[in-house]
Amino acid sequence: MDLKQAIQKQAQAAGFDAVGFTRADADRQDGENLQQFLAQDRHGHMGWLADHVNRRASPVGLWPEAKSVIVLAMAYGPATYRAQDQADRGDISIYARGKDYHDLIKKRLKRIARWLVDNNDCQVKVFVDTAPVMEKPLGQRAGLGWQGKHTNLVSRQLGSWFFLGEIYTDMEIPADPPEVDHCGSCRACQDACPTGALAVPYQIDARRCISYLTIEHKEEIEPELAAAMGNHIYGCDDCLAACPWNKFAGPATELAFMPRAELSAPRLADLSTLDDGAFRQLFSGSPIKRTGRHRFIRNVLIAIGNSGDWSLRVPAQALLGDPSGLVRQAAIWAIARLKP
């Protein structure tokens, strides 16, 4: 068994669904795409994307000793998917209905990394969406998928529903061939976006993306965009779910990614009553906790305003005196939207 086969066996034992290998040297196009994205201010308030651009644009910029990158994928897709369309319920992105993937995947990566160090004369570093790493370009270079028109990685085996993690190493490991684009003339993901964040294929304007607005955006949301958000209260799966390659993907088998019942179709009225303590308790171990109570309740109020349900004026009115100005503003907007 050669090294790549041995790593693949370790990855499978750790619960990963796919593994690929690529060189750690820079791809000039990746850096140019990043610079263009930032120059056009499409990153919105995500200032951290502009920090340490050189380190983000290339693995060796982050770690000069790196020679190879092992890219691993873990599926989290649902057994079936149907957008939550009940007016009095909120819609939470599939990936956030279970446990926080960061901790779980990092532990699995560290298990493989320890095995590498114990059995080879090498150094390693592991990353899961928490460092200046351009995961999707690396995933494409490692053959795991291609960046679709929605800018997410698409796999012919896993569809659009999978997490990525990386192991950088100073070992020379033969690279896999990169994956090529299989989107063709399809524009299903672009047409599915409610806010027009994918007007240009293969380019996303985060400032219009519901995932960005509900998770990263810290201020009031423009009325035009808020009105198009529907009942999305944390993240959005519309472009992912529209991808026809998902028909080849099976559901996630990792128990930690199974949806919690209370997060699958939560009542907006119930969520609106959460104070900071209740919010932290409900979302303990969930990625939603990082957003904080005020932004989350802002999202809930926007969903209430879009519901068309007159009875939801009551919980919205109860938040007119909330300590958070962000919540108070959203409550005013929601009440104004609801008519008898």
Contact yes or no for 149/189 (Cβ under 8 A): yes
Question: Is the Cα torsion angle 79, 85, 90, 91 positive or negative in sign?
Answer: positive
End-to-end CA distance of the chain: 70
The SS3 of residue 59 is helix
| Residue 85 falls in the annotated catalytic set | no
Amino acid at 29: Q
Q: Among residues 30, 41, 100, 129, which one is catalytic?
A: 129
Give the contacts of 233 (CB within 8 A, at least 6 positions apart): 90, 91, 92, 214, 266, 268, 271, 296, 299, 300, 302, 303
Number of Cβ within 10 Å of residue 256's Cβ equals: 16
Contact yes or no for 285/293 (Cβ under 8 A): no
Q: Report the half-sphere exposure of 196 (CA within 13 A, side-chain side).
A: 5
- Cα-based distances in Å from 78 to 140, 213, 247, 281, 316: 23, 23, 12, 25, 32
Catalytic annotation, residues: 129
